[in-house]
Structure 1
Amino acid sequence: MPMLNVNTNVPLDAVVISDILKDASKAIARLLSKPESKRNLAFPFDWIVYVMISIRHGVPMSMGGSEEPTAYAELISIGGLTPPNNKKISAAISEILEKKASIDPGRFYLKFTDVKEYTPESQFSNVVCMHALHQ
């Protein structure tokens, strides 16, 4: 389940937030070759696999000593985070934020975290999929 958390100092209205959520969800799904939403009956429990996007706006932030529009995001995913994909994802999300929130791509930072898929063998690992928390 890819999860993108975006923090920005730009105050956004509901329409812009909705547009960013939709565009970012589609971009993440496409670039990671994962569905935005699907039911998975193969797992021991019936659960939904989906892309999740979160936006916190109007957050007090500075970058390089300046409070001009900026954003920091973290993308967590089970697989798919390779250097070539990360470059494409960063470009896609920065383009969305530039168009929708007027954030210059040079004032956007994206952290990537690849997590391991949950398996019964990994249940005691420090880094496991967030699905493990729901079981």
Structure 2
Amino acid sequence: MPCLDISTNVKLDGINNIDSVFSELTKVVAAILGKPETFVMVLIKGSVALTFGGNKEPAAFAEIVSMGGIDSQVKRKLISSIGTTLQDKLSISPTRFILKVHDTTMFRNKSKL
């Protein structure tokens, strides 16, 4: 079950259709990871005290956790697609967005060693 957790300094109460942000991010994650949308969880925390590059212009930090299906090509697609969605929906430049990726199967496999 993939989980995308986003923290941003953007005020979400000023976003007209926040449901469309959740919907778009859910679709993006599901499509790239090859998982059903019904298994994708998306959390967005707005108005977070966050600076990037020493200023408070719109920025976001996100983490995605998934069991399997994440390689370097998938990481690039996730970064690009989530970044584009954040730019289109929340006016966050892709250059002011960081994504941390966790594949939980890596941790499970290491524990068997």
Instruction: State TM-score, norm by structure 2.
Output: 0.89
The aligned counterpart of 1:17 is 18
> Is the 8 Å Cα contact of residues 16 and 101 (structure 1) preserved in structure 2?
no
Q: In structure 2, what is the Cα distance between the partners aligned to 1:15 and 1:81?
A: 33
**Larger Rg: 1 or 2?**
1
AA matched with 1:71: A
SS at match of 1:19: helix
Structure that is richer in helix per residue: 2
Greater RCO, CA 8 A, separation 6+: 2
Query: For residues 55-66 of structure 1, what are the structure 2 equivalents within 5 Å?
Result: 55-66=44-55
Q: Which runs of 4+ in 1 moved over 2 A?
A: 13-17
CA offset digits 1:65-85 (Å, max 9, x no partner): 111100000000001111001
- Match of 1:85? 74
**Aligned residues: percent identity?**
39
Shift of 1:15: 4.2
* Partner residue, 1:68: 57
CA contact (8 A) 1:10 1:58 kept: yes
Partners of 1:69 and 1:32 lie apart in 2 by: 27
For residue 17 of structure 1, report the CA deviation from its aligned partner: 2.4
- Measured on the aligned residues, the alpha-carbon RMSD in Å equals 1.6
The separation in 2 between residues aligned to 1:15 and 1:102, in whole angstroms, is 13
1:112 equivalent in structure 2: 101
| Distance of 1:9 and 1:63 partners within structure 2 | 10
The letter of the residue matching 1:68 is E
Corresponding residue of 1:36: 37
Q: Give the unaligned 5+ runs of structure 2.
A: none
Count of matched residue positions in the alignment of Structure 1 and Structure 2: 107
Whether 1:6 aligns to 2:3 is no
- Specify the SS of the correspondent of 1:55: strand
How big is each residue's C-alpha offset from its partner over 1:56-106, in whole Å with a ceiling of 9 and x where there is no partner? 001110011111100000000001111001101111100010011100100
Give SS of 2:12's match: coil
